[in-house]
A and B are shown apart, each in its own frame.
Chain A
Amino acid sequence: MNQSSPQLSRLSYVINLGVVGVMLVAMMRVILMMMADGLYPLASALSAITVFLALVYLRRRFTPVRWFGIGIALALLFTLYPILFTLYLSVTNMGSGHLMTKPQAVDQLESQLYLPEGGQTYGWTAYESPGGNYALWLLPEEGPGLLAIPGQSIEAVTVGERGVGELDDDGIPESIEGYERLPVNRTVAIIPALGAIDFGKAPNTVRIRSLREAAELKQKYRYDDGQDAIVDEETGTLFKPLKGTFTSVEGEELTPGYIVYVGIKHFDHFIGNARFREPLFKIFGWNVAFAFWSVFLSFAVGLMVTLLFEGLPGSRLIRALLIIPWPIPVLISILIWRNMLNPDLGFVAPALESIFGSSPAWFQDAAWTRIGLIMVNVWLSYPYFYVISAGAIRSIPHEIYDAAVVDGAGHWNKFYHITLPLLLRILMPLLIASFTFNFNNFNVIYIFNFGRPPMPDTIVPMGQTDILISFVYRLAFINTNVTNYGLAAAITVMLFFLISMMVVFQVRFTNLFREAE
């Protein structure tokens, strides 16, 4: 670096400047458009990231950070920002009917049109291009004919202009270049399709109203800055903002609504509303039980595989077979289990029936679904616990056992008083991490039975085997008519809080931050 010539470093600086400049301009454009649409959180995040990148790649002082500036930018946008944005969402009403910002909602309302009763009307004739596009020839009561094509302004056209051919007796062109005049019977057949097309260019568009008549469309809603309200141009009704919806005095509401701050409303749900709180606590209880039993049993089985088969003739083969679940992708494993336990498809139900005379309702009965879920999860994760406990046992110095043998301890005593406590000490951080992971093990819960069977009589849909994160998913993604991102985010915030507590717990058992030395 010291040897590189000044010209070279100046050149690289200029290249840097150029690249950063282009990025700055492009990002500025996007950010300004976002600001105009009222997407302040995302616009601020992008601004911060842009400033960061510009500093890193221009200031000499930050040269070492250039090695991973892009990485940090991505992590900021897709790891840190979602956490902050979740906090923001949890105090908003974002959800179905309130998916946009206020400027976006106003834009969408202002683009709605209506067919006024009075307004200008025309007789019309349809033309079709080989590509399936339509054009209209409009004849007003008086005056010359007009050509109307979607996306182009409507204008009076004389013969010869824009490919318009000779007019017939009714004043309608025999032909328009690039289009074919449709006979009446054909036109009748496509009226539904034609009726959905806005001919012309906003704000002056024409839509057909009947076989005889087309009429000029008008903008239905207009946003009045001074009053901060929407005016219905057709009826004159005034719609004022009320909790994220433009609402008239009579209580009529306009869709779409928009995102507004609602304070701790969602959090109040957990505390104040018993019909919500009680089932949520049931979900929480099952969530803890699911994570605990998954870790406990997987660890037990993994440890058993480590200890029980040591030195047994054929143990290598036994272990090779026992590790088979590991490389199969999780989703596939769960799907297999689901089908295997299915009474009509799998072999498990017939097998159990022939032995016990009956087979459990794995997917309808909550208790059996829970047993199934834990069983599948143990199947998925004991190979991991086998591998880590085998590694940990190797690190226990054997001298410790010598003393025990002198004292006449049997192998059970050695296991219970030496191996197990030492193992737990070594593996506690991983066990807690695994608990945290299973606490949020969405895949198993969702893919096995979608959190079903449903809980009866809840205000929002909840499943008896839902855990918190699958409940979040249900609120946000399952039924798009009642999507509630705000509430889903509020529950996620609660999850962040719970996980932070688990991590504090984990840090006590480990030097989590040792890696940063």
Chain B
Amino acid sequence: MQKTRSSAMWYDDLLKQLRSHDWLSLIGRYAVALVLIAFAVAPALWVVSSSLNPAKSLGSGSLWPKHPSLVNYDELFNNDFFPYTTWLKNSLKIASISTAGTVTITCLAGYALSRFRFKGRRQFMIAILILNVFPSILGMVAIYTSIQQLGLYISAVGLDTHGSLILIYVAGSMGINVLMVKAYIDTIPVELDESALVDGASPWQTFRHIIFPIMRPIVITIGVLTFIAAYGDFVIARVLLKSSNQLTVMVGLLLFQTDRFDQDFGMITAGAVIAAIPIILIYIPLQRYVIDGLTAGSVKG
């Protein structure tokens, strides 16, 4: 707290200096701000405006349609070419199940790594870190071919199934996420566990009734990050899913784009807007958790 305030004072000093300089710098900074804002906002604004433009194929060139209407949205959900509603449901289903699985696995693993001492514990965590440095995208050829082979014997996790996708997303949670949860539990006093154990609770009861309830912030962070990642994933879903009814909304949108780009441009933009909404809805109230998660470890000192 002290530190924040003092750095704020430092900023004030810097600002006084800057302000005292001249008007030009102030105008210059606003000009830069305007250019950057235009750069940042234009795509979002443009996609919304195009989705409201009833003219089917041609962009009007203007930033706002003359006769806005929802006809593109209506068509999006009632067209004969693409099962957009199914795609959206698939994405929400896959992301939700992956999130539930990830939260379960990381919480249990984090608790065990934080509270129990066993042989190989440190080596295990180092192994996690090492495996984690290779982006999962590098495995795409191997994952595709193995899932194809696996599917010959266990059809629920073969190609074109949601099962395989969910397992891969959940498996990805055994990376940095586990260490984040472990680090969080490390900050919870061990005395809490010990008093519960003295009262005769089993380790499981201690975790379930004492520790898990106070893990809310980290559970939300992990949950939100997993949901956003699973919902937004493109590559693995693109590689593993084939039939139109199985696709996620991200893969579907690209298919949309490549197949019917000329005919139904308005519909594509409407699809993009709708597909972005779940993430924005999650992001706005929980932004703090996303930022905590993504910057974990960056500003420790």
Contact = CB atoms under 8 A, between A and B. Distances in A.
Interface of A: 1, 3-4, 30, 33-34, 37, 39, 42, 62, 64-65, 67-68, 70-72, 74-75, 77-83, 85-86, 89, 94, 301, 304-305, 308-312, 318, 321-333, 335-340, 342, 344-347, 350, 379, 384, 387-388, 391-398, 401, 405, 411, 414, 426-427, 429-430, 436-437, 440, 442-443, 447, 469, 472-473, 476-477, 485, 488-489, 492, 495-496, 499-500, 503, 506, 512-513, 515-517
B118 A82 contact: no
A324 B276 CA distance: 12
Contact of A496 (B134, B149, B150): B134
B70 interface: no
Contacts of A512: 129
A504 to B, nearest CB: 10
B158 to A, nearest CB: 13
Contacts of A387: 291, 294-295
A331 B126 contact: no
A405 to B, nearest CB: 8
A329 to B, nearest CB: 4
Label chain A's interface by main secondary structure: helix
B146 A82 contact: yes
A80 B143 CA distance: 11
Contacts of B175: 75, 79
B32 A308 contact: yes
A34 B239 contact: no
Interface string B118-144: 100110011011010111111111111
Contacts of B159: none
B40 A321 contact: yes
B126 A516 contact: yes
B178 A71 contact: yes
Contacts of B129: 512-513, 515-516
A347 B37 contact: no
A65 B112 contact: yes
A342 B269 CA distance: 14
Contacts of A304: 32, 36
B118 A64 contact: yes
A311 B11 contact: yes
A331 B234 contact: yes
Interface string B288-301: 00010011011101
B141 A74 contact: no
A310 B33 CA distance: 12
B243 interface: no
B135 A437 contact: yes
Contacts of B287: 327
10 contacts: A62-B118, A67-B108, A70-B105, A89-B145, A94-B145, A324-B41, A327-B280, A329-B250, A340-B42, A379-B40
B259 interface: no
Interface in B168-206: 168, 170-175, 178-179, 183, 197, 200, 202-203
B40 A324 contact: yes
A310 B140 contact: no
Contacts of A68: 105, 108-109, 112-113, 174, 178
Interface string B16-41: 01100000001001101100110111
